[in-house]
Amino acid sequence: MLYPSIDSLMTKIDSKYTLVTVASKRARELQENENSHIQQPVSHKFVGRALEEIEEGFLRYQPQEYTGRK
């Protein structure tokens, strides 16, 4: 079974597409800096660590309000 599960991640971020975007950006940061917020991650891969950070509440997404101006 995958950890964290997609069901538990969807309670944190409501869109699969947004979840992928947030996790991939954080995975790139982890690849460059290796500054994980999780002390003992289950996953050894960067994307897995990013998903664990989302599950634990270290990463959040707040949509920006569209103003209609350029």
Q: Is residue 29 part of a domain?
A: yes
Distance of CA 45 to the CA centre of its chain: 13
Give, as one character, the DSSP assignment of residue 11: T
CB 33 within 8 A of CB 49: no
**With a threshold of 0.75, does the pTM exceed it?**
yes
The H or E element spanning position 47 is helix 46-56
> Residue 10 in contact with residue 42, Cβ under 8 Å?
no
Per-residue pLDDT of 31-52, as tens digits, reads: 998 888 888 888 889 999 999 9
Residue 70: inside a domain: no
Domains contained in the chain, number: 1
Q: At what angle do helices 46-56 and 16-33 cross, to 10 degrees?
A: 120
Domain assignment present for 68: no
Asked whether residue 44 is domain-assigned, the answer is yes
pLDDT of residue 41: 84
Is 21 a member of any domain? yes
Structural domain span for residue 18: 6-56
Q: Which of 67 and 8 is assigned the larger pLDDT?
A: 8
